[in-house]
Every structure is written in structure tokens, then in C-alpha cells.
Amino acid sequence: MSVTAAATRPSAVGLGMPQVPRTRRSRAEVEAAAPVTGPKRVMLAAPRGYCAGVDRAVVAVEKALEHHGAPVYVRKEIVHNRHVVDTLTERGVVFVDELDQVPDGALTVFSAHGVSPAVVAEAAERNLETIDATCPLVTKVHREAVRFARQDKHILLIGHEGHEEVEGTYGEAPEHTTVINDVAEARTVQVDDPDNLIWLSQTTLSVDEALEIVAVLRERFPNLQDPPSDDICYATSNRQAAIKLISPECDLVIIVGSANSSNSVRLKEVAFEYGATRAERVDFASQIDEAWFEGVATVGLSSGASVPEVLVQDVLALLADYGYAQVDEVVTAEEDIIFSLPKELRAELKKAGDESRSLGGRRRDAEA
């Protein structure tokens, strides 16, 4: 997998502003309801927000729009974020659930979560021009599934049934794969040959929960084989590690991210498990309920891997309005991974003399 050098401009999606109106009580009213003892502050987790796979997928759609013009069809949400999807829709992207909603021959982008070989075959049959924006780290798991199925192993795929990524990975080797949703399923799953098993996982799980599931499986199947490397990706692990560090000190943790974003939902769960008194997830600052601030001295803040930084900045502005003007950023890892654009697009951009490559929402502060 290749890694490219730096970018030239931020993504338009990363710079767009949410269109949701904000209504709220005054700071005085909130404070009167439950006075805060101690200084008010924000612990801002880092890393947070856009990962390399999301940046690549969003930029791929933007480049497709620039070079092909609208409409560009995208199968499923390109990434699981309401703001990103709404902004791209306004610019002429048509999101569809299945390929039968795409006109013959139209340009279609596969989302960052990946697709099964059956979807690729259907696209070819329909003569669709495609750009595969599957995150390279998801593709890695697909390749593992294919390899282990060829070795006639049975794969226990830890992940959430119905999630697009799990559907795609499962589709690589359905006869050789059983999906394990949770600890309860790990306790009851039946297999033909307990000595011929390997586990793989969705990339955006809770690290702790996945380890617990593996421990249960290993207790039942001592010869269970580990994957060659971690399937839970660096971005998921890093965001969870940062939240684990700040949560014990937080009265309230706010996670910016959409309800269908697996890694965002996991961040909220992890915050609560690691000691935050309260943890909430919002798409936009306007969804924050000011009653959450009653009696709160320290607010933790982070965002999922598909969230543009502008949405976090919007929350920080709201928090400042409520007296949480002191912001301490807690950095637990540095990330500098950038994936090159999908190969179909690279070839086309090269032909058109377009060598630019934007960084989405991730480097917004640095570029501002």
C-alpha cells in the first residue's frame, strides 16, 4: 500500500458548516440549575476525527465530481457521517443502497467500508465505471479472508452483522466464515472443526470488547489461530486510547459522530466504561442538551474517524459560550498516514495533469 506526500488544499467537505439551527438556554440558567464547583475546562482528545481511509474516500468522491461532473453515484454512504453525506449530496453526489439504483454505464464509487466480490461482479455486468474507495486497511482484512479460505480454514469474523464492512468481508468467503457479534455468540457458536479456526475482525470495534470475545473463543477452542496482524485499525485504536486517558477526569464526554458510525459509537461506550460520569454522542453542536452541563466542571471531547474537524470546532465554540473556555488538548499519538487515491482515479488524474491531493478535515488547523 503506498503512502503519498502532503496535500495542497483542505477538502470542501471538511470546510462546510452544519446547517442545523441552535437553540439553547442561557449560561446563567444552566449554572443556576446546578452550580459548578472548580474551574471549568475542556479536555480535548487527540488524535480525533478524520483518519487516512476516510480522507482518501472523501477526496476520491470530490475528485470524481471535479473531473466527471455530477451526478456521481456512491454505493452506500461514502463514510458514516451525516454532514459529509449531506454536503456531497448538495454538490451532486447520489447515494444509493444498491447498484440497481444506478443507471447503466454511470460512474459509481464504492464506499470506504468495502464491498463483497458479488457487488464488484454486478458492477462489471452492468458495465458501470467504478472507483473503489475501500480503505486499504479494510482491503487487508478482505485479503486475509480470501487467503485463509483458500487454506480451507474456518474464519470467525468478529464484527457487527449488517454493518457494510462485515458484509463485504463475509462476502469474500461466505462458506468459510461465521460472524461473531458479541461475547454471547462467542460462548455458543458451533463449529465443525475446532482445530482449524482463525479469527479476523471488523476494523472499528472496541479493542477491549474484541479481546474479550477472543478470550472466550480461545477458552472454547484452544487451537484458535490469531490473524497475522491487528485488524482493528490504527485510527480506531488511537482514538480509543485517547478517550481512555481523559475519561476518568471527565464529568461529561461528548463524542462528535453519527449514529451509524461504528467507531464513534464505540468511543462513547469506551468513555463511559473508563470512568466518565456521562457520555453523549452528537452529529452537530446544535444537538447538545445544555442540561448535560449542570454541575459539570470537566468536559471531554473527541470525534469519530469520519468526522470533519469543523464539527468539533463548532462544539468548542458552544462550550466556550458556556464558560468552558480553557481547552487542554491531550495528545496520545501522532498520526501522519496518508493513503494514495484509488488507482482508477490516479490514472485519470495523471492524464488530466491534476497532481493535487487534499487532506480532508484532518489538517484543517495546520493549514488555516
Indicate the DSSP class of residue 303.
E
Least separation, in Å, of the C-beta of 232 and ligand SF4? Answer: 8
165 catalytically annotated:
yes
Residue 271 to residue 278: CA distance in whole angstroms: 8
Please give the order of strands across the beta sheet that includes 154-158. Answer: 177-180, 154-158, 197-201
Closest to ligand SF4 by CB, 53 or 171 = 53
SS3 state at 251: coil
Q: Closest Cα to residue 168, out of 248, 112, 216, 91? A: 112
Least separation, in Å, of the C-beta of 125 and ligand SF4? Answer: 27
Least separation, in Å, of the C-beta of 140 and ligand SF4? Answer: 9
Closest to ligand SF4 by CB, 52 or 319 = 52
Closest to ligand SF4 by CB, 53 or 318 = 53
Phi, psi of 356, rounded to the nearest 5 degrees: -75, 155
Least separation, in Å, of the C-beta of 362 and ligand SF4? Answer: 11
Sign of CA dihedral 261, 48, 309, 268: positive
Closest to ligand SF4 by CB, 51 or 315 = 51
Binding site for ligand SF4 (CB under 6 A): 51-54, 112, 135, 137-138, 203-204, 233, 235-236, 263, 305
Q: Find cell 469543523 and name the residue.
A: 310
Sign of CA dihedral 276, 277, 280, 285: negative
Residue whose Cβ sits closest to ligand SF4: 53
Q: Please provide the distance, in angstroms rounded to a whole number, between the alpha carbons at the two ends of the chain.
A: 29
Phi, psi of 138, rounded to the nearest 5 degrees: -75, -40
Closest to ligand SF4 by CB, 36 or 79 = 79
Q: Closest Cα to residue 244, out of 323, 340, 330? A: 330
Closest to ligand SF4 by CB, 177 or 203 = 203
Q: What angle do helix axes 234-246 and 262-273 make, rounded to 10 degrees? A: 30
Closest to ligand SF4 by CB, 267 or 318 = 267
The set of residues, in sequence order, having a beta carbon less than 8 Å from that of 288 and lying 6+ positions away, is: 24, 254, 280, 282, 315, 318
Indicate the DSSP class of residue 191.
-
Question: Which helix (H) or strand (E) segment is 139 a member of?
Answer: helix 136-150
Task: Please pick, among 144, 164, 165, 172, the residue that the annotation labels catalytic.
Answer: 165
**Nine-digit cell string for 337:** 498516514
Least separation, in Å, of the C-beta of 105 and ligand SF4? Answer: 28
Residue 148 to residue 173: CA distance in whole angstroms: 9
> What is the separation of C-alpha 11 from the centre of its chain, rounded to a whole number of angstroms?
17
Residue pair 302/48 in contact by the 8 Å Cβ criterion: yes
Least separation, in Å, of the C-beta of 235 and ligand SF4? Answer: 4
Least separation, in Å, of the C-beta of 176 and ligand SF4? Answer: 22
**Nine-digit cell string for 35:** 452550580
Annotated active-site positions, please?
165
